[in-house]
């Protein structure tokens, strides 16, 4: 199953930043992690990951550092910045409120309506 475009647009930055708040990653790692950790739900077209990263970088939510990977290849590692973590925090709390609001409307975790 995949998400509809509008959901994806809102969720993708949140998911990426959540992953990068745990540890720094380079592009392909991030792509894999998204696919694996979200059970495929957030496996967006990989091509959109990079613009998304640049966008977060432009906003100052992530920072990129070029370094050699353990394999010896040069990689660009992204990590969340303090500003990014702060933004993530506010997004999460909005997310929680949204889930709570939905729950109070009777929308249950499995999508059924009570």
Partner 1 sequence: MNRPTLSDALRRVVDEVLEASGLGFAEGREEVEEELVAHFEDGLARGVPEAELIRRFGDPVQAGLRIARTRPRARARERGETGGWWMSMEVWWNEVTRAARRLRRAPGFTTIVVLTLALGVGVNTSIFTVLHAVLLDDLPYEDPDRLVRIYERHEDWGDLEYLRAPLVVELREWEEVFDGVASMYTYREQGADLTDGDIPVRVNAMAVSAGYFETLGRTPLMGRTFEEAESFGTGDVDDTPPPGVAMLSHELWQGHFGGGSDILGRTVQLDGQSIEVVGVMPADFRNPFGVQADLWVPQNLRPGGSNHWRNFYLSGIARVREGVDLDLVDERLAVLGTALVERVPEAGHGATAVRPLQSDVVGETRQTMLWILAAAAALVLLTACVNVANLLFARGLGRDRSLALQSALGSGRGRLIASILLENAILASLGGMLGLLFGWMGVEVLLAISPNALPGVADVSFGFPVFAFAFLVTTGALIVFGLTPALRMSRTAPAEVLRSGDRSSTVGRLVRRLRDGLVVTQVAAALVLVVGAALLTRSFGSLLDVPLGIEPEGVVTFEVHLPGMRYPTPDDRVRFHDEYQERLRSIAGVQSVGATSWLPVNGRYHSWSFNWVPNEDPDPEGEFRGTDVRMIHGDYFEAMGIRLVQGVPPSDIDLEAEQVAWINEEIVRSTMPDVDPLTQRIGLAGTVRRVAGVVADVPFSTRGEVSPKSYVPHVQGDNRNWALTQVVRADGDLDGLLESARAELRAMDPALVLYRPESVEGLLGRVRAQDRFATTLMAAFGLLALTLSLVGTYGVLSGSVASRTREIGIRIALGADAGSVRSLVLRYAAALTIPGVIVGLGLAWLASGWIEALLFEVGAGDPWAYVAALVAFGGVGALAGWLPARRATRVDTVEVLTAE
Could you give the string, one character per residue 15-34, with x where binding to partner 1 holds by CB under 8 A and - elsewhere? -----------xxxx-xx--
Taking a C-beta distance cutoff of 8 angstroms, is the pair 30, 62 a contact? Answer: no
In the complex, minimum distance from the CB of residue 65 to partner 1, in angstroms, rounded to a whole number:
10
Asked whether the beta carbons of 96 and 104 are under 8 A apart, the reply is no
Asked if residue 54 binds partner 1 (CB under 8 A), the reply is yes
CA distance 22 to 37: 13
Q: Which stretch binds partner 1 (CB under 8 A): 5-13, 52-60, 87-95, 103-111?
A: 52-60
Restricted to residues 74-113, the positions that interact with partner 1 (CB under 8 A) are 74-76
* Sign of the dihedral through C-alpha 86, 89, 91, 97: negative
* Of positions 12, 38, 57, 79, contacts partner 1 by CB under 8 A: 57
Q: What are phi and psi of 9, to 5 degrees?
A: -60, -40
Are 56 and 14 contacting, i.e. CB atoms less than 8 angstroms apart?
no
Return the axis-axis angle of helices 5-22 and 27-37, rounded to nearest 10°: 110
10, 40, 60, 82: which one contacts partner 1 (CB under 8 A)?
Answer: 60
Closer residue to partner 1 (CB): 79 or 107:
79
Q: Which of 55, 93, 94, 108 binds partner 1 (CB under 8 A)?
A: 55
């Amino acid at each position: 199953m995949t998400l509809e475009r509008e959901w994806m647009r809102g969720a993708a930055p949140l998911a990426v930043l959540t992953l990068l708040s745990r540890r720094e990653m380079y592009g392909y790692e991030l792509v894999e992690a998204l696919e694996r950790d979200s059970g495929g739900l957030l496996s967006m077209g990989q091509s959109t990951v990079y613009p998304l990263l640049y966008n977060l970088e432009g906003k100052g939510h992530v920072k990129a550092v070029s370094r050699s990977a353990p394999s010896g290849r040069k990689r660009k590692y992204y990590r969340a910045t303090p500003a990014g973590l702060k933004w993530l925090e506010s997004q999460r709390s909005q997310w929680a409120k949204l889930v709570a609001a939905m729950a109070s409307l009777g929308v249950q975790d499995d999508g059924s309506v009570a």
